[in-house]
Chains A and B, each alone.
Chain A
Amino acid sequence: DQQVKQNSPSLSVQEGRISILNCDYTNSMFDYFLWYKKYPAEGPTFLISISSIKDKNEDGRFTVFLNKSAKHLSLHIVPSQPGDSAVYFCAASALGQGAQKLVFGQGTRLTINP
């Protein structure tokens, strides 16, 4: 039962263009969503998050959009740079459980081509 899904295992984008990574979730209790970037042999690095009370959050080149009715979120990176090449994980959690478990998607490998 995969509650968070990233349906594209890989994505290739030209340097300078926009990268759009997608994530779908099934659990309507999720109310906090995060994106992490992971390089080989390193731990996931936090990029950006969004609460369910918002539909957009922006931080520099990174913007996350949340569509609650569709249970869908996306990460936009613009402009894409070679250093953005990594695996990107979408994660979700739910408030009110006295704890915080992150549920991760399977990841999307982003390759930025010069």
Chain B
Amino acid sequence: DSGVTQTPKHLITATGQRVTLRCSPRSGDLSVYWYQQSLDQGLQFLIQYYNGEERAKGNILERFSAQQFPDLHSELNLSSLELGDSALYFCASSFRSGGGAVQETQYFGPGTRLLVL
């Protein structure tokens, strides 16, 4: 158990809909990262938040957005869903932002499996 929690575990929805995925980082961690794992793309970095502020963006679609709240939990919002958005969505956390002199190990949650029908 990494200490990172994600809800829900599974989500089934229809095209065009909007969903929210939730992540709680490990106790004491300030950074939250979101990754998408699809069958053909592997694990892809989406976005990072550090202490409530966006720190880095990866291959995140404009239909997707995220935020980190004062209690440090994070939500990933996916809107206008398409069939191709079906994937595993992982959240990870680390203590620092990782942008300083020391690299940070990221610890992953169990993921949310999203199926868009």
Contacts of B33 in A (CB 8 A): 100-102
- In the complex the two chains form, is A46's CB within 8 Å of B103's CB? no
Other-chain residue from B42, B58, B110 in contact with A43 (beta carbon distance below 8 A): B110
Q: Report if A46-B106 is in contact (Cβ < 8 Å); known contacts: A98-B56, A100-B98.
A: yes
**Is residue A34 contacting chain B, with contact meaning CB distance below 8 A?**
yes
A interface list, Cβ under 8 A from B = 31-32, 34, 36, 41-46, 49, 51, 89, 91, 93, 95-107
Contacts of B31 in A (CB 8 A): 100
**Is residue B25 contacting chain A, with contact meaning CB distance below 8 A?**
no
- In the complex the two chains form, is B2's CB within 8 Å of A101's CB? no
Other-chain residue from A44, A49, A96, A99 in contact with B43 (beta carbon distance below 8 A): A44
- In the complex the two chains form, is A99's CB within 8 Å of B101's CB? no
**Is residue B4 contacting chain A, with contact meaning CB distance below 8 A?**
yes
Bound complex: CA A106 to CA B38 (Å):
11
- In the complex the two chains form, is B103's CB within 8 Å of A100's CB? yes
Please report the total number of B residues contacting A with Cβ < 8 Å: 32
Q: Encode contact with A along B66-106: 1 for CB under 8 Å, 0 otherwise.
A: 00000000000000000000000010101001111101111
Contacts of A103 in B (CB 8 A): 45
**Is residue B107 contacting chain A, with contact meaning CB distance below 8 A?**
yes
Q: Encode contact with A along B41-57: 1 for CB under 8 Å, 0 otherwise.
A: 01111001010000110
Contacts of A31 in B (CB 8 A): 103
Output the least CB separation between B38 and chain A (Å): 12
Bound complex: CA A98 to CA B53 (Å):
12
Give the residue name and chain of the B residue nearest to A4 (CB): B42
Bound complex: CA A41 to CA B110 (Å):
7
Bound complex: CA A30 to CA B111 (Å):
26
Give the residue name and chain of the B residue nearest to A44 (CB): B108
- In the complex the two chains form, is A101's CB within 8 Å of B58's CB? yes
**Apart from A99-B48, A100-B97, A103-B45, what are 7 other A-B pairs with CB-CB below 8 Å?**
A49-B105, A98-B56, A100-B94, A100-B103, A101-B58, A104-B35, A105-B42
- In the complex the two chains form, is B103's CB within 8 Å of A95's CB? yes
Give the residue name and chain of the A residue nearest to B99 (CB): A98
Bound complex: CA A31 to CA B98 (Å):
12
